[in-house]
């Protein structure tokens, strides 16, 4: 179980002011997603860094741009970070990880990319383990007990209800078939 990922902690701390009281909830969500993803792809250090960066930014646009239509703002934030950290070659893969993480059907692009395990990991987390993608229940219990929701899932429901009131014909703009 990964409990300390320096790049993830650094990125989350840099955005702590905008995350505000949701920092712990979002940190725990990102750590769950990273651990679930690593369990599916046996990530090497380079892949772990990509997963951590994608995790840090994948929902960040909710807070930075104040929107539930957050995929594009989240990609923009990740791209800025990757350019500034001299990792521009990772932009296509990490952008795809963010843009496709709410895709309902499997990702059919480059199979060497981490998009599909990242997508599955977020679905496992958002469904609180209802969807497992063959991860063991024991492992899921360990991940969820190490990194509890801390209000993250409640926040998602609040955001969904708010979006439904203002955009009844497009309540979940991040979902893709």
SS (H, E, C) 20-60: HHHHHHHHHHHHHHHHHHHHHHCCCHHHHHHHHHHHHHCCC
Burial (CB < 10 A; 0-12, 13-18, 19+), residue 11, is buried
pLDDT digits (tens, 9 = 90+) for 51-75: 999 999 999 999 999 998 999 999 9
Task: Mention every residue, 6+ apart, whose C-beta is less than 8 A from residue 26.
Answer: 12, 19, 59, 63, 152
Q: Distance from CA of residue 32 to its chain's centroid?
A: 9
Determine the pLDDT at residue 97. 98
Task: Mention every residue, 6+ apart, whose C-beta is less than 8 A from residue 88.
Answer: 82
Please give the backbone phi and psi of residue 129, each rounded to the nearest 5 degrees, phi first: 90, 0
What torsion, rounded to 10 degrees, do the Cα atoms 109, 29, 149, 105 define?
-10
Secondary structure of residue 103 in the 3-state scheme: strand
The residues pairing with 103 across neighbouring beta strands, listed in sequence order, are 176
For the chain, the structural domain boundaries read 6-166
Distance of alpha carbon 33 from alpha carbon 41, whole angstroms: 12
Determine the pLDDT at residue 174. 82
pLDDT digits (tens, 9 = 90+) for 162-176: 888 888 888 777 878
pLDDT digits (tens, 9 = 90+) for 90-121: 999 999 999 999 999 999 999 999 999 999 99
pLDDT digits (tens, 9 = 90+) for 123-164: 999 999 999 999 999 999 999 999 999 999 999 889 888 888
Q: What's the fold here for domain 6-166?
A: Hypothetical protein af1432 (1.10.3210)
């Amino acid at each position: 179980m990964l409990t300390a990922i320096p790049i993830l902690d650094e990125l989350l701390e840099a955005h702590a002011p905008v995350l505000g009281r949701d920092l712990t909830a979002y940190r725990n969500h990102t750590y769950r997603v990273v651990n679930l993803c690593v369990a599916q792809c046996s990530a090497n250090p380079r892949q772990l860094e990509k997963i951590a960066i994608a995790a840090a930014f994948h929902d960040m646009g909710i807070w930075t741009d104040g929107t539930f239509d957050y995929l594009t703002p989240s990609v923009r934030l990740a791209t800025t970070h990757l350019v500034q950290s001299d990792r521009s070659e990772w932009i296509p893969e990490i952008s795809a990880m963010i843009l496709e993480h709410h895709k309902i059907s499997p990702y059919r692009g480059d199979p060497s990319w981490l998009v599909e395990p990242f997508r599955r990991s977020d679905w496992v987390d958002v469904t609180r383990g209802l969807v497992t993608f063959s991860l063991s229940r024991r492992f899921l219990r360990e991940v969820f007990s190490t990194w509890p929701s801390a209000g993250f899932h409640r926040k998602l429901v609040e955001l969904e209800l708010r979006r439904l009131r203002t955009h009844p014909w497009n309540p979940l703009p991040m979902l893709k078939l």
